[in-house]
Structure 1
Amino acid sequence: MTKKSPARTPRITIREVASDAGVSVAAVSKVLRDAYGVSDALRAKVQASMDKLNYRPLASARGLRGRTYTLGLVFPDLRNPFFADIFVGVNAALERTQYQAMQGVSVSASSLVEAMIDRQMDGLVLIGPNETNERLNDIADRIPLVAIGHHDLKEARFDTVNNDDQLGARLAVRHLCQNGHKKVAMLSLAAPVSTVINQRELGYRLEMTEQGLGAAINIVRAPQVLRDVQLTVRRLLESRDRPDAIFCWTDLMAFEAISVATELELSIPQDIAIVGYDNTVFCEFAQNRLTSIDQSGEVLGLQATRLLIERIDGRSQSEHFVVTPRVVARASSAKVG
């Protein structure tokens, strides 16, 4: 005997909301569209009825009227805790709006972006895109777009929100040198290399040179795979010319560097100092006490969302917001000697 599927609960309609609120269907429609001239009293009355009846507007139907009130977020990876900070900022920006954020994960902005466009999302935020300006401009020509972590601004027809990555790297090296460390290596990312990586490596090189340590420049790279990071750090720490400090391009890599150094029974920071990037919540943990460069992921997410909604509302001129980083010093890089 074939088991019958449970009957679906009938979907509440806009007419039922209007009847419950004691207003016209047109009035409910204006509230849903966030139309000009809607009073706070009308908005509150309609919202109360929608909440009471558990009414949810069909995204597809709203898309036919112009907007779906959905935004697409594309992350390159969800293992990095810094991306959670960005998502918190996005949600904070959307708190008092009708918009909802839908997220996906993709190293490249290809099929996932096309799927989001096909689903009539109103705009996209790409986090750390490994894409050319040509490709990003192509996307921006079809849908409002903001990129977080993309420094190539030449002829950009989209908005960007960036941390000053070059300055952040310089601050990390300067901090280590001021605390007595002279052989500072950088643990960077192997391909695909983004404009963020390029800027941080450039900042590292420039500051090492300015500190008179150009001969000690040492950039090692590893894929963002924990096992590969561990092997790379182990080789670095077991080398004959071992550095006395490592500047890691993310906290995620820095935590692994701390783990490997601990396994090798090296003292932090006496034998090896470690600095990360992102100042994620795990830096505060007693087993890490990680010095890190704070670029405020929440601010990046909040500002990207603000710019995207402005784009959706009609702004066409590109804007580029930059966050100034700062050093948050902890025990992993304390003064030695």
Structure 2
Amino acid sequence: MGKKTQPTYAQLAAASGISVATISRMMSGSSRVSEKAQRKIVQALTSLGYDPESILPRPAAEGNFILFNIPNLANPFYSLIIQGARDAAKRSGYTLLINEDAIDEATIEAYLMMIKKIKPAGLIITNSVSPVILNRLDTLVPIVQCCECNENLSIPFVTIDDAEAAKYAVEHLISLGCKRIAFLNGPLSYKYARNRLAGYTNALESAGRKAETELTVQLGEINYDMALSAAYQLLNSSNRPDAFFCSSDVYAAAVIKAAKKVNLSVPNDIAVIGFDNTEISSMCTPSITTVNQPRYQMGLVGCDMLTERINDKTLPVRGMYLETELIVRESSTRRPV
């Protein structure tokens, strides 16, 4: 059976005896509606065969703040996303509360209890979360997925095309004449890492090459020291790479440090590309070629999507892919050979 369309204000007015103006205020989330009028509107919705919870906006009394969940506060990637979300939240009359927490099978029950206790108006999730857990959370609080997402769920999302961005970056290295392109990647439990691996592999295969297992390193987290150790081992191998594609600017900075330790020049001996266009990419010497993610816009759009959903649960679920751009800097300025 298909879902019923939303009732008109005139239908609700006739069934409840409440004016269209008052119904309009309640449907827009206004607090200027008496409890008696609210009860009559809820009763009218029920009598007309509608589920009030799926139609009425979340009351302001349930929280005037939005919870923004990230997996790792130390990762500089999130700074501009948080700033964009904070600006959007403030513009809509909400405060943004930052929470660093895992959301998985081991933590979900405690996390659900926290949500019930603090009652945020909505939740922005940047973590990699299973579909089962996302659906459980979505029954409790309006959600938007940001960066990491499952596009197959009925939950809004904003992200980028990681595979396409990675492919373009690796093609840039191929155009420079690089023959052995190493890839320092994040944990494959994250969708971005799986998609960037696919883009890396696709670029090599399109150029008639195969991805070499010994050149592909999966690191457990975005961590400078881990990346430094991995890069140092690769650069000291008998058949060292002549380029690195890194799924984080943090990794790329570590590669540059490792190259200096073994007296190799970036970009003359080793070309390096990072990802995210965080502050570290322009602060390094040499500066790092990187894939720019519109991080501020991602936070802004994600929070706007959420406030729209808070105010109107009947809006169709939508997803958005933002454009990326390769920012060419000193770490990959060799001329093609």
TM-score by length of 2: 0.77
Which residue does 2:261 correspond to in 1? 263
Shift of 1:313: 0.6
Rounded to whole Å, the distance in 1 between the matches of 2:89 and 2:149 is: 25
Rounded to whole Å, the distance in 2 between the matches of 1:286 and 1:65 is: 46
Give the letter for the 1:184 counterpart. Answer: I
Is the 2:70–2:101 contact (alpha carbons within 8 Å) kept by the matching residues of 1? Answer: yes
Is the 1:171–1:326 contact (alpha carbons within 8 Å) kept by the matching residues of 2? Answer: no
Shift of 1:285: 1.7
- Any idea what SS the aligned residue of 2:257 has? helix
Give the letter for the 2:229 counterpart. Answer: L
Shift of 1:97: 2.4
Give the letter for the 1:246 counterpart. Answer: F
Rounded to whole Å, the distance in 2 between the matches of 1:288 and 1:81 is: 19
Rounded to whole Å, the distance in 1 between the matches of 2:243 and 2:230 is: 15
Match of 1:157 among 150, 154, 159: 154
- Any idea what SS the aligned residue of 1:321 has? strand
Shift of 1:176: 0.8
Shift of 1:315: 3.3
Which residue does 2:287 correspond to in 1? 289
Rounded to whole Å, the distance in 1 between the matches of 2:69 and 2:304 is: 17
Give the letter for the 1:204 counterpart. Answer: Y
Which residue does 2:118 correspond to in 1? 119
Rounded to whole Å, the distance in 2 between the matches of 1:284 and 1:98 is: 35
Which residue does 1:176 correspond to in 2? 173
1:290-317 CA-partner distances (Å, limit 9, x unpaired): 0000111101100100110011012342
Rounded to whole Å, the distance in 1 between the matches of 2:185 and 2:95 is: 34
Aligned counterparts, 1:18-37, within 5 A: 35=30
Aligned counterparts, 1:2-151, within 5 A: 35=30, 66-108=61-103, 110=108, 111-112=110-111, 114-127=113-126, 129-151=127-149
* Number of aligned positions between the proteins: 279
Rounded to whole Å, the distance in 2 between the matches of 1:104 and 1:198 is: 25
Is the 1:223–1:229 contact (alpha carbons within 8 Å) kept by the matching residues of 2? Answer: no
Rounded to whole Å, the distance in 2 between the matches of 1:178 and 1:236 is: 22
Give the letter for the 1:132 counterpart. Answer: S
Rounded to whole Å, the distance in 2 between the matches of 1:203 and 1:100 is: 37
Report which stretch shifted further, 102-111 or 132-141. Answer: 102-111
Give the letter for the 1:122 counterpart. Answer: A
Rounded to whole Å, the distance in 2 between the matches of 1:288 and 1:215 is: 27
Rounded to whole Å, the distance in 2 between the matches of 1:64 and 1:162 is: 29
Query: CA-atom RMSD, angstroms?
Result: 2.3
Is the 1:162–1:300 contact (alpha carbons within 8 Å) kept by the matching residues of 2? Answer: yes
Which residue does 1:221 correspond to in 2? 218
Match of 2:185 among 188, 192, 195: 188
Residue ranges of structure 1 left out of the alignment (5+ in a row): 1-29, 38-62
Give the letter for the 1:77 counterpart. Answer: N
- Any idea what SS the aligned residue of 1:265 has? coil
Rounded to whole Å, the distance in 1 between the matches of 2:73 and 2:309 is: 26
TM-score by length of 1: 0.77
